[in-house]
Structure 1
Amino acid sequence: MNGRVILLNSGKTDAYRHLVKFVPATGIDVITERKYTALYPTNTNLHYVNDIADETEVLNVARKLDSSDSIAAVVSPSERSLPVGGYLRTYFNLPGTGFDVAWGFANKSVMKSKLRSAGVEVARALTISNIRQLVDAGDEIGWPVVVKPVIGSGSMNTYKIHNREEAASFLETPQADWFRNSRYQIIVEEYITMKGEYHCDAIIHNGQVVFFVLQRYFSPLLECTGAWGGSIMIGKGDERYDKISAIYPKVVKALGLKDGVTHMEAFWTGTKFIVGEISCRPAGGGIPKSILLKYGIDLWDAFTAASLNLEYNHKASELIPGIIANIDLPVQTGRLVDICTIDELSSIDGFVSADLSPVGTLFSEPLNSSSATGIVYVQLQSDAELEGTLQQLKERYHSAYES
């Protein structure tokens, strides 16, 4: 590749690890924040900004880099870096997802407006500029509501508010202060009564959905931060699979993505899906690896290739029969001082593999829906086997922390 590649990134270590498979490390410039320094190899070309979401600050760094060696591509894998990555591509006339499309995927208010206009069912919502408007917004939409920043991920700074009294109390909390100090607007949306929350992960090529996998979260994301969590694949013969396959192309067309990887979350009411939100980057947690184990499809490689304007072979092969579940091991704040071994966990039924955090790992607030001390991957023949497998895992798993 002629020219340098900018990786505009936060703490997503997978992004750099996969990018160096395509581009020599010497040809990569990482724009990040100082708190993420330790996540990169010591020889990485690091360039610091105070906030990767600040387009002016990032552009100043990018222009200096471009003046010495032209920029060939921009990779922006985190929710906060998506819009600025699109802005850089538009500014420097680079291939890939431009600002308008990136903004539609990153900004939940813009996203829902575009989807609603395209006939895709989404939750009713209002966008407010001040958290003090929460009570009025909830009264207009109807309680309970979910409140969150228009740009964010992993259930961070996302809250379910049951009624106007709870909303009034919420306004006096440190959590409300976060919204007051945030650069982003706030979206207040109806809470969807659901039978389950699902995610669908796809590869998009030439504007078409060429590969996707549907999975069900064990419980809605707002209910499982730090606890036993994860998701399980849904078989292709299931009615839910057919329902989501009819919706997904409409979502992609409405938001205008030509090439890339998407992660969509949707609520199943028992008869239909209501789309929650979608992003044009790989999912977090164990989702990408579960798909790699099952189908041999590497979503991070597909995302990186699309960002570099390269082709990716998206032909899937069924490497493991049945369905795969990825199970998040519970976590709490503090330094991990003891954890079970993979050998202890490997005796559970259907065990495939596991990734565990090393002793010494520090977990700090805020935890989010992807926070875990490790992830266990299991093979099942049906959804009905999950409860028994989880029980076996709970009997074997142990960990200890110090504050």
Structure 2
Amino acid sequence: MHVLVLSTGNPLLENALLTAVHTVTVLQPAGTAALPGIEQHTVEHWDDLDALTALEPGLPDVAAIATIDEQAIVAAAHLRQLRGLPGLTVEAATAYTDKAVMKTTLAAAGLPVARHRVVHHAREVASAAGELGWPVLVKPRGGLATLNTFVVRDREHLKELVDAGAFDARITDPTGRLTAGHVLDSLHGARDGFLVEQFLDVEAEFFCDLYVHRGTVLLAVPGRYNAPLLQSLGAASFDTALPPQHPEARQVADLAARAAAALGAQSGVVHCEILRDRTGGLFVGEAGARPGGGSITELASVMYAFDLPATLAALATDQAPDLDGTPRFPALTAVMITAPAGTVTHVPDRDTIEALPGVLHADIRLTVGQPVPTGIGTMTLAGRVLYVPDDLDTLDQEVADLRAALDIRVEPLTTD
């Protein structure tokens, strides 16, 4: 099958399709490189649908159009509709990527979500907070990795944030993969405004990746972050895939499946964030028509012993992958590696780390003599360790002991 892949530079899907002996053409932002031997077309901006319409006649005949990149989901749906190809529609793609449309759609389906208002300037935040109640959460309509997302406590705090330029700050992207979308834009630079959202006193945050074929969930992979994402920015975080019989895992997977059904059936992966407030209530935070970021896809494929690239290739070509659903471990944790800014002076080799009790695999992207790589939002670039917990009740201490055993040392930056 010939597949057009919309890509921002992570070639996971392209490689998966090539391995499955499909023909691949890529559509990428101008200035990015395709895999060798692959036909490439370029786009200046994913959200310029008029430019995509003008580009479409020059694209090759393909049987499928696919992406696993948040920024390109609407663009892929637009091209599918121009070609009359099956897959997520523009309406559904918009519901998955525009948080205002998403929450309105979920609420209309009877699912619990935070109430919200769309505003276009910081001066409108106080009025929205008057309806929703202080504090409020401010976030972009389209974004990822909690970029430009923060809590506003009250009017005085709002003024402090405005004076500090929080609403005018454009995000710096060390990955170079986000320049053809709007996720780096400041809140005031957003063409369709931004969200002021009811603040939920979140006690725990969960994720659930759903592997879906034509609207049927083949596998649900629920898990839990060690802390709500907004509380763990820049911290040493870890994510844990929970056993399917875990009471919270069952509730999370059920709510995620209901959210995916409400937003739009498809063949692909749906990533959901589920929040639990201090009253015990569960809320849909958001849902994306793409795999989870960070180590979540790796947790899924290792926990449930499936070939992730082959699965993504099958779903991209509307085939049903063979997914067992039997977990290999009672639970599985991805411990993200973080280090302070500075120069790395000591890092153990992979064999040493993988010899530690409970460690399955290590991917440490730190090199002695080199600076610690800079992350973006909740994305860390320093690596991770896959770890099988002894007991979920003692996991915090187990992770702390593991981090101490890693013995990563950094010479801090100095200011002259």
TM-score normalised according to structure 2 size: 0.86
Instruction: Determine the C-alpha separation between the residues in 2 that align with 1:162 and 1:152.
Output: 22
1:106 CA displacement: 0.9
1:337 CA displacement: 7.7
Residues 297 and 316, structure 1, Cα contact 8 Å, conserved in 2: no
Instruction: Determine the C-alpha separation between the residues in 2 that align with 1:258 and 1:94.
Output: 12
2:299 pairs, out of 275, 281, 290, with 290
SS for the counterpart of 1:175 is coil
Are residues 253 and 380 of structure 1, via their aligned partners in 2, closer, same or farther at CA, if it must alter by over 3 Å? same
- Cα deviations across residues 210-232 of structure 1 (Å, max 9, x unaligned)? 21121110111112233211211
Instruction: Determine the C-alpha separation between the residues in 2 that align with 1:256 and 1:191.
Output: 26
1:88 pairs, out of 79, 95, 100, with 79
User: What residue in structure 2 maps to residue 151 of structure 1?
Assistant: 142
Instruction: Determine the C-alpha separation between the residues in 2 that align with 1:50 and 1:175.
Output: 27
User: What residue in structure 2 maps to residue 244 of structure 1?
Assistant: 252
1:376 pairs, out of 373, 380, 385, with 385
User: What residue in structure 1 maps to residue 152 of structure 2?
Assistant: 161
- Cα deviations across residues 54-79 of structure 1 (Å, max 9, x unaligned)? 223334333312xxx31322112111
Instruction: Determine the C-alpha separation between the residues in 1 that align with 2:259 and 2:364.
Output: 35
Are residues 317 and 236 of structure 1, via their aligned partners in 2, closer, same or farther at CA, if it must alter by over 3 Å? closer
User: What residue in structure 2 maps to residue 16 of structure 1?
Assistant: 14
Are residues 400 and 130 of structure 1, via their aligned partners in 2, closer, same or farther at CA, if it must alter by over 3 Å? same
Are residues 36 and 154 of structure 1, via their aligned partners in 2, closer, same or farther at CA, if it must alter by over 3 Å? farther
Indicate yes or no: 2:72 matched with 1:63. no
Indicate yes or no: 2:31 matched with 1:31. no
Indicate yes or no: 2:403 matched with 1:398. no
User: What residue in structure 2 maps to residue 313 of structure 1?
Assistant: 322
Residues 14 and 24, structure 2, Cα contact 8 Å, conserved in 1: no
Query: Structure 2 unaligned runs (5+)?
Result: 169-185
2:227 pairs, out of 193, 202, 219, with 219
SS for the counterpart of 2:202 is coil
SS for the counterpart of 1:195 is strand
1:116 pairs, out of 107, 112, 118, with 107
Residues 96 and 308, structure 1, Cα contact 8 Å, conserved in 2: no
Greater fraction of residues in helix: 1
Residues 213 and 320, structure 2, Cα contact 8 Å, conserved in 1: no
User: What residue in structure 1 maps to residue 171 of structure 2?
Assistant: none
User: What residue in structure 2 maps to residue 329 of structure 1?
Assistant: 337
Instruction: Determine the C-alpha separation between the residues in 2 that align with 1:31 and 1:120.
Output: 35
Q: Give the paired residue count.
A: 392
1:53 CA displacement: 2.9
SS for the counterpart of 2:259 is helix
Residues 240 and 332, structure 2, Cα contact 8 Å, conserved in 1: yes
User: Which segment is superposed worse, 233-242 or 322-331?
Assistant: 233-242
Residues 324 and 379, structure 1, Cα contact 8 Å, conserved in 2: yes
SS for the counterpart of 1:282 is coil
SS for the counterpart of 2:20 is coil
1:314 CA displacement: 2.1
User: What residue in structure 1 maps to residue 3 of structure 2?
Assistant: 5
Instruction: Determine the C-alpha separation between the residues in 2 that align with 1:222 and 1:76.
Output: 27
1:302 pairs, out of 311, 325, 329, with 311
Residues 88 and 264, structure 2, Cα contact 8 Å, conserved in 1: no
User: What residue in structure 1 maps to residue 181 of structure 2?
Assistant: none
SS for the counterpart of 1:77 is coil
Instruction: Determine the C-alpha separation between the residues in 2 that align with 1:361 and 1:92.
Output: 47
Letter matched to residue 30 of structure 1: V
Instruction: Determine the C-alpha separation between the residues in 2 that align with 1:43 and 1:401.
Output: 43
1:399 CA displacement: 4.9
Instruction: Determine the C-alpha separation between the residues in 2 that align with 1:140 and 1:79.
Output: 31
Indicate yes or no: 2:273 matched with 1:265. yes
User: Which segment is superposed worse, 262-271 or 88-97?
Assistant: 262-271
1:203 CA displacement: 1.2
Instruction: Determine the C-alpha separation between the residues in 2 that align with 1:252 and 1:109.
Output: 16
Instruction: Determine the C-alpha separation between the residues in 1 that align with 2:191 and 2:198.
Output: 23
- Cα deviations across residues 315-341 of structure 1 (Å, max 9, x unaligned)? 2343x3321001111155678786432
1:151 CA displacement: 0.9
Are residues 203 and 148 of structure 1, via their aligned partners in 2, closer, same or farther at CA, if it must alter by over 3 Å? same
Instruction: Determine the C-alpha separation between the residues in 1 that align with 2:408 and 2:128.
Output: 44
Indicate yes or no: 2:288 matched with 1:279. yes
Instruction: Determine the C-alpha separation between the residues in 2 that align with 1:357 and 1:257.
Output: 37
1:272 CA displacement: 3.0
1:348 CA displacement: 3.1
Are residues 73 and 187 of structure 1, via their aligned partners in 2, closer, same or farther at CA, if it must alter by over 3 Å? same
User: Which segment is superposed worse, 391-400 or 119-128?
Assistant: 391-400
Letter matched to residue 408 of structure 2: H
Instruction: Determine the C-alpha separation between the residues in 1 that align with 2:310 and 2:53.
Output: 26
Instruction: Determine the C-alpha separation between the residues in 1 that align with 2:129 and 2:295.
Output: 34
RMSD in angstroms over aligned alpha carbons? 2.5
Letter matched to residue 29 of structure 1: T
Residues 213 and 318, structure 2, Cα contact 8 Å, conserved in 1: no
Are residues 100 and 362 of structure 1, via their aligned partners in 2, closer, same or farther at CA, if it must alter by over 3 Å? farther
Instruction: Determine the C-alpha separation between the residues in 1 that align with 2:315 and 2:400.
Output: 40
Residues 345 and 393, structure 1, Cα contact 8 Å, conserved in 2: no
1:361 CA displacement: 7.9
